[in-house]
A = this chain, B = another copy of it.
């Protein structure tokens, strides 16, 4: 059964996927810095049109706002970002409990 967890603000998890392009040759360095940021769940260096994909899992919209516009976008070496904010999550995993401890 797919747990269709609506991204209810407040209690449950607000998720966003950020597509990033980074300065030539600094992809891994920037990935490590991003992965340390509060609210960043995972960072992947990828093949294709983008250099990095960041998965954000936070509790409320304004945490998302701070993380993306205050911390991530001002990180030196980041050249372009496109933030895809999740309406709904569909998963056989219970993502909330898996990720909520020590989010």
Contact = CB atoms under 8 A, between A and B. Distances in A.
Interface residues of A, number: 63
Contact of A87 (B7, B69, B89): B69
A93 B41 CA distance: 7
Interface string A84-103: 11111111110100110000
A32 B90 contact: yes
Contact of A44 (B17, B46, B47, B93): B17
Could you say how many copies of this chain the assembly holds? Answer: 10
Contact of A61 (B14, B25, B69): B14
8 contacts: A27-B73, A28-B70, A28-B88, A31-B88, A31-B90, A43-B89, A46-B87, A61-B87
